[in-house]
Amino acid sequence: MLDLLYVGSELPRKNLATLLKMVAILKARGQSVRLIKAGGAGGERWRQATIQQISALGLEADVVFTGRVDEAHLPMLYRAADVFVTTSRLEGFGLPTAEAMASGIPIVCSDTTAFPEVVGDAGLLVSPDDPEAAAAAVLRMRDDPALRESFIEKGVQRAALYTWENAAAKLADLYAEIASTGDTRSSR
């Protein structure tokens, strides 16, 4: 069984539709796959739309909803998965992606918004609207142990960059740079 993990809501911008199509593609190719969806729906309307799509694709036995997961249990959930997947179209940062890297799980994610910057060369990036490419990337992660291990190692290193200490240091450097210019004008 290939366990894929998605952590997030079912809001349209999260584009769960592509992940569900990806699971259907993998299943049609004879793969034993399960999508574990952790997190709230973001609203009953979105949950119903997701359930309808799952039914239309015949994936009732292949998608598991965990609901919200306590932060203390998230690392265990990440480590139990084979690949973290997200095809979101819009993210400001993508915290679950950084959490997955820190947990030592390989990443397949969108090549849009913040993901290329957050993930860098530590995962496989695909178009958020290409379930075929997402399926191929997942199989590549499974079938190439050297690539998988390389992405895990790079991901752990990359996740270490995203600490409160590093963020505070960068902010302090920015303030120092602004102060050194002597420009006290408001940006308004």
DSSP letter string, 101-131: HHTT--EEEESSTTHHHHHTTSSEEE-TT-H
CA nearest to 7, candidates 90, 65, 92, 93: 65
CA nearest to 101, candidates 119, 128, 125, 121: 119
Q: Determine contact, residues 26/139, Cβ cutoff 8 Å.
A: yes
Q: pLDDT value at position 69? A: 94
User: Topology of domain 2-181, per CATH?
Assistant: Rossmann fold (3.40.50)
Q: pLDDT value at position 166? A: 79
Q: pLDDT value at position 59? A: 98
Domain boundaries, the chain: 2-181
Q: How confident is the model at residue 7 (pLDDT cuts 50, 70, 90)?
A: very high
Q: What is the pLDDT of residues 15-49, one digit of tens each?
A: 999 999 999 999 999 999 999 999 998 889 999 99
If you average pLDDT over residues 1-11, what whole number do you get?
96
Q: pLDDT value at position 19? A: 98
Q: How confident is the model at residue 186 (pLDDT cuts 50, 70, 90)?
A: low
Q: What is the pLDDT of residues 84-113, one digit of tens each?
A: 999 999 998 889 999 999 999 999 999 999
HSE (side-chain half, CA atoms, 13 Å) at 90: 4
| Whole-prediction pTM | 0.88
Exposure pattern of 24-52 as b/e (b: 16+ CB <10 Å)? Answer: bbbbeeeeebbbbbbbebbeeebeebbee
Edge-first strand order for the sheet with 124-126 is 63-67, 33-38, 2-7, 83-86, 107-110, 124-126
What distance in Å separates the CA atoms of residue 168 and residue 150, rounded to the nearest whole number?
A: 29
Name the E strands within 13-154: 33-38, 63-67, 83-86, 107-110, 124-126
pLDDT over 90 at 182, yes or no: no
If you average pLDDT over residues 107-124, what whole number do you get?
96
Q: How confident is the model at residue 187 (pLDDT cuts 50, 70, 90)?
A: low
Q: pLDDT value at position 138? A: 98
Q: pLDDT value at position 181? A: 81
Q: How confident is the model at residue 180 (pLDDT cuts 50, 70, 90)?
A: confident
What distance in Å separates the CA atoms of residue 14 and residue 39, rounded to the nearest whole number?
A: 12
Q: How confident is the model at residue 185 (pLDDT cuts 50, 70, 90)?
A: low
